[in-house]
Chain A
């Protein structure tokens, strides 16, 4: 075993195209990207340029046409569907623009869902759910609230708690502030910063909002498979 840890994400010459009618859309074209462990990277690009596609490939929800994707040294191509699913349960947290909380379940129940897959006692699950929600900044008296009884920012906090409750090393955020106003959005971005700095989570956030990108420690501009990288002017 080498003493240098492998990159959190290593994408090498990754291509992905979609067919729309007769037209072929090359979303990613020999795309290469390295994300170091414990980095907070913002991938910046306009809508429709392939940000979600990229994140889905990294999360193993979709397969590339060609090229290689390694996450913490694991080549995703070597994992079949079932293995990939198990791998996600332990290694990834997804955060989406639309939260995707189950409306009739309380915040705590929503956060508990990923834990149901792990061999934990009910007490242990409860303990972890409370910890994650507290860490995500949802006031304790709201842990039993339903999503509809929470503000957008609070719902996103619940979604973040759900993503971190299994303690995965890597968080993938797809426009996490896209549905929030500026101040609620900033709180969420501050929370992500905290998770990165204090819990050492590797975070990849895709966004089309330059302001959101300023919260990251590294910003990558992505355009039609071409990578332009520059330091954020924080």
Chain B
């Protein structure tokens, strides 16, 4: 009976006055929220992986020193622990090209496991992947390395190492480039990956690793697993020091943060434009209706009520556009997910992003009605009636 909805014809009448203007305004809101949705999904594609997996990862290294290796057998032992999902290991090659200052960020890894973990951050043709998997002395390199040294697929590169010397005294580790990948992770783009077996065979099978990367099943197990690992190997000749990978992840996020900054800049510009358009529409609409608004006041409509009606008008304008924009973004993301599964597995419009969009919409509706409300506040009823 006293539902505020009884004013809805009045609110809608304000929007129906200039249909074209109303639709164009809604369109501008729609575009803003469509972009918001798409960019949030892209953001999720870049950071989602880190956020979900990165937080559950522990890094185990020698407790003695940074360069001291650990036995590779630890990997299997740790993997057998209940709360551990999987374990990867790597050897820090300490590689360089011709001079010591031409550093190559080279890792010896278990190729299948490494690809399984990092594939979502890579753009690499499947046939390059399989070429590398088959080629024991082959390497995958990031596009940044390839660009720095002008290396091409198929080339053989004489990598040297400061740390690892063959039993015969050579320090060269020639590798054939089987593939060049681009990556959403800057650090990967600077990387060079070789087979663990290539290193192990070259060193005469010491069966060591530089570190273990341990993914736990549940975030809540992180501390417990770290302590159990260190306790387990405390009295062995190779005690471990295990910690969350958060610190590494933070570095990584800092390196890629420019994507986030760009997204924020674009959105700020888009939303600012949308705010101008919406505020302008409402301001004009209120100015054109000043006579009608004055007559409502002669009928007993209070100023606060009229302010609420303008706010409702803004809400309808912004909410219709926002819902349509976010809905469209959700459809597009859904459509792209299948196609981009291999490259951007984390591409998604999250519930959080949708809630954020709705919150933003409310905020922008309130902001855009500020000016017209001030206008009405200043409007003197008798003057509005005089103007006609």
Q: A residues within 8 Å of B by Cβ? A: 52-53, 56, 59, 61-62, 81-82, 85-90, 92, 94, 96, 98, 100, 102-105, 109, 113-114, 116-117, 119-122, 162
Q: Are B2 and A119 in contact (CB under 8 A)?
A: yes
Residues on the A chain within 8 Å of B382, using CB:
52-53, 56, 61-62
List, sorted by A's number, 12 A–B pairs whose CB atoms are closer than 8 Å: A53-B382, A62-B381, A85-B300, A85-B303, A88-B299, A88-B300, A90-B300, A94-B299, A100-B294, A113-B10, A117-B300, A122-B1
Contact, CB under 8 Å: A102 / B301: no
Find the A residue at minimum CB distance from B381: A61
Query: For residues 271 through 314 of chain B, which have their beta carbon under 8 Å from a beta carbon of chain A?
Result: 291-292, 294-303, 305
B126 within 8 A of A: no
Chain B residues in 8 Å Cβ range of A102: 10, 13, 292
Which of chain A's residues has its CB closest to B299's CB? A114
With A62-B381, A100-B295, A109-B13 given, name 5 new contacts (CB 8 A): A52-B385, A56-B382, A85-B301, A85-B302, A117-B300
Residue of B nearest to A99 (CB): B295
Which residue of the partner chain, among A81, A116, A122, contacts B7 with CB atoms under 8 Å? Answer: A116
A52 to chain B, nearest CB (A): 7
A85, A89, A109 — which one has the most chain B CB atoms within 10 A of its CB? A85
**For the complex, what is the distance from the CA of A53 to the CA of B305, rounded to whole Å?**
25
Residues B2 and A117 in contact, CB atoms below 8 Å apart = no
Check if B292 sits within 8 Å of A89, measured CB to CB.
no
Given that A61-B381, A98-B388, A119-B1 are contacting pairs, would A113 and B302 also be in contact in the complex, using a CB cutoff of 8 Å? no
Chain A neighbourhood of B227, CB < 8 A: none
A61 touches B297 (CB 8 A): yes
Asked if A104 and B300 sit within 8 Å, CB to CB, the answer is no
Output the nearest chain B residue to A100 by Cβ-Cβ distance: B295
Tell me which residues across on chain B come within 8 A of A53, comparing CB atoms: 382
10 shortest A-B CB distances, which residue pairs? A89-B300, A100-B295, A114-B299, A94-B298, A104-B16, A85-B302, A88-B300, A104-B13, A56-B382, A61-B381
Nearest A-chain residue to B2, judged by Cβ: A119
A114 touches B300 (CB 8 A): yes
Q: Are A82 and B292 closer than 8 Å at their CB atoms?
A: no
How far is A103 from B388 in the complex, measured between Cα atoms in Å?
A: 14
| Cα(A98)–Cα(B298), bound, Å | 14
CB proximity of B310 to chain A, nearest CB, Å: 15
